[in-house]
Amino acid sequence: MGPFTLAIDAKKSSLAVSDSSNRKVQNAQLGKKKFFASISTEEEKEFNFLRVLFEGIVAGGTAGVVVETALYPIDTIKTRLQAIRGGGKIVWDGLYSGLAGNLAGVLPASAIFVGVYEPTKQKLLQIFPENLTAVAHLTSGAIGGLAASLVRVPTEVVKQRMQTGQFASAPDAVRMVISNEGFKGLYAGYRSFLLRDLPFDAIQFCIYEQMRIGYKLAAKRDLNDPENAIIGAFAGALTGAITTPLDVIKTRLMVQGPANQYNGIIDCVQTIVREEGPPALLKGIGPRVLWIGIGGSIFFGVLESTKRALAQRRPSPNQHSDGPKQD
């Protein structure tokens, strides 16, 4: 019985080793299949990318136009508060000055931002582990802001020059800025704009996305439009307050024109603090927080509802499948 038992044990051991080896080979093959499938389904990923890009462009453009139209007067008041020096008085006329020209820039800028943000976010969320989703949101917001800045900055320059009464119409503003300052005049304050908007976009969208994730986990359901709007308002107001000094610097550099009162960002900060005191860096914080808080509520509410409406219009997976077989 002893040798027979040993023979059986040896056979079992051999089978176990063989089975283990087979499983390893199968797992390796499955791993290879999974890996190659992820890079060989390029056509499907390209379709998904284009869909996400298109939906982001439409949703972002829609949300941007709605927000800008609704809250333009508050933005005008904020700009005039930040632009006045010393004891100057704010002008209350023409609070919608420059709206039409600004919408011509806001539409493509918002569309570009969300159009870049959404696919970038989804790609980074696939790459980063779950505990680093905030990094993915921060990075996506900054990249989206950088792409949109190519349109945002000229739009902002023209808008703020008109809000402060320097020009009567957007075409006149563009023509005179280029004539007096060259094409680079349309990008006046570009570095200060990036200094404000890249952190703003990154922080705002990170707070918004992280709060949505936390709320969905707690509620164990998708958020409705009012809930998205409330979270958007909080994210916008908080981010707007944090970045107000950067906004003041950006405004001063953009509206100074050919006079060149400030020689760059550092000189602008030093001059403001020296001549007007540190509180001047918080000028317009009230209208800014109000404007961005309400704007965040409208923007994210419209954004999510538009994205959902577009998603409902997608062709269903079974739409192209064969119909029921006939006998």
Note the pLDDT tens digit of each residue in 95-131. 887 788 788 888 999 999 999 999 999 999 999 998 8
- Alpha-carbon span 47 to 38, nearest angstrom: 14
- Alpha-carbon span 304 to 230, nearest angstrom: 12
| Token digits of residue 285 | 């914080």
pLDDT of residue 319: 53
| H helical segments located in 256-284 | 265-276
Are 177 and 101 spatial neighbours (Cβ–Cβ below 8 Å)? no
Reported pTM: 0.70
Radius of gyration of the chain (CA): 28
What single letter denotes the amino acid at residue 153? V
Residue carrying the six token digits 């040798």: 3
Are 186 and 157 spatial neighbours (Cβ–Cβ below 8 Å)? yes
- Alpha-carbon span 203 to 139, nearest angstrom: 10
pLDDT of residue 62: 93
- Alpha-carbon span 59 to 114, nearest angstrom: 8
pLDDT digits 0-9 by tens, 145-160? 999 999 999 988 888 8
Q: Which parts of the chain register pLDDT below 50?
A: 2-18, 20-21, 23-47, 321-327
